[in-house]
Structure 1
Amino acid sequence: MSETVGYARVSSAGQSLDVQLDKLKEAGCTRVYSEKRSGQQADGRPELQACLQFLREGDTLVVCRLDRMARSVLDLAKIADLLNKKGVALRVIDQAINTGTSEGRLMFSLLGAFAQFENDIRAERQADGINKAKQKGVAFGRKRALTDDQCKRIRTLRQEEKFSIAQLAERFNVGPATIYRALQTGR
């Protein structure tokens, strides 16, 4: 016997699942998996993994919005492929998608294509912004813990006065790994 299974997710503990849970109940879900965690990767969400593992041929997975299930086009494609292989339909309540119908499959494919296009454009804009910032001399990354003069001083103290790594780290208020890197930059 096929089941209608729901999945709900919010990004943080302070948010409520109530609205999604009500919609899933109204949609006839007999079992609901839910979690409160960021949705970067599907493998980092144990309830989604349990839900996907539970689903059998003929079942329908119901979510309120696509972004509750997948946060990237790649993630969405992987999940959609898994559902397709298992013979499971996907129903998205708020976006009126049902892959159990040919129209729903078409809409799902179009949405995926548009999402990929949007992602590509965003990546291009970001790369342009980074290049412009670099041209203007903006430095990216974390600020260096030690100046060049401090690195020279560390090498001198180590070689001439035989300071230990721990003593140098304490004196310059940095970790031992930073001291090791400072000692290697002089070679």
Structure 2
Amino acid sequence: MARIGYARVSTLDQDLEIQLAKLKAEGCGVVRSEKVSGGSRDGRAELATVLDFLRPGDELVVTRLDRLGRDTRDVLNLIHECEQRQAFVTVLDPHVSTRGEVGHLVMTVLGMVAQMERRFIKERQRDGIERAKGEGAYVGGKRRLDRERIKALHAAGTGPAAIAKIVGCSRMQVYRVLQES
């Protein structure tokens, strides 16, 4: 039986160290981590890797259930996939495990709370943006792509697929930037 830890934060500027330390202290021999949103399972390669490696009797350990996901359906599906592999899910805070029936009930409730919390965060964010727009202080989110570099590469004769590889985005994003011009 292996204890496999999974740590996640939503943004690049957040720190994983506290989660990693807790998982290692809890006896997780393997700990996988990533910096990606928990709103869905899209783009969560480390989580997919953990699920692929689970064997009967293994235990997936997370510090809090919202680290596993912020959507109730996703969380329940993840727990179901672990059970299909005859593995368990354990949350450290509060300490809950799928080894018993009560654990399933608590996990479902915690999943619902995580989803509700995500909705509250989005609502507060929306309110803050509206307030900033009203005050004339809103400048929009940070641009993730170097638009000038994309345009320069295109002007130099580089194709959209090659540009996408170079700057680390999709071809569709390259096309959108090029259409802005």
Would you call these one fold, judging by a TM-score over 0.5?
yes
| Displacement of 1:95 | 1.8
| Displacement of 1:114 | 5.6
Q: Which 5+ residue runs of structure 2 have no aligned equivalent?
A: 124-176
- When normalised by structure 1's length, the TM-score is 0.58
**Aligned ranges 1:143-162 → 2 under 5 Å:** none
2:17 aligned partner? 18
| Displacement of 1:41 | 1.6
| Displacement of 1:21 | 0.4
1:147 aligned partner? none
2:52 aligned partner? 53
Mark the CA change 1:38 to 1:113 in structure 2 (over 3 Å): closer, same or farther.
Answer: closer
Percent of pairs with identical residues: 41
| Displacement of 1:101 | 2.5
1:42 counterpart SS class: coil
Distance in 2 between the 1:23 and 1:52 partners?
Answer: 20
| Displacement of 1:113 | 5.3
| Displacement of 1:3 | 0.2
Query: Is residue 39 of structure 2 the alignment partner of residue 77 of structure 1?
Result: no
Say how many residue pairs are matched: 124
| Displacement of 1:80 | 1.3
Distance in 1 between the 2:3 and 2:74 partners?
Answer: 22
| Displacement of 1:115 | 5.8
Q: Which 5+ residue runs of structure 1 have no aligned equivalent?
A: 127-174, 179-187
Distance in 2 between the 1:36 and 1:115 partners?
Answer: 18
Q: Is the CA contact (8 Å cut-off) linking 2:65 and 2:114 kept in structure 1?
A: no
Q: Is the CA contact (8 Å cut-off) linking 2:3 and 2:28 kept in structure 1?
A: yes
2:87 aligned partner? 88
Distance in 1 between the 2:52 and 2:110 partners?
Answer: 25
2:159 aligned partner? none
Moved over 6 A (4+): none
Distance in 1 between the 2:25 and 2:100 partners?
Answer: 20
- When normalised by structure 2's length, the TM-score is 0.60
Q: Is the CA contact (8 Å cut-off) linking 2:71 and 2:111 kept in structure 1?
A: no
Higher-Rg member (1/2): 1
Mark the CA change 1:19 to 1:114 in structure 2 (over 3 Å): closer, same or farther.
Answer: closer
1:145 aligned partner? none
Q: Supply the AA of the counterpart residue of 1:83.
A: C
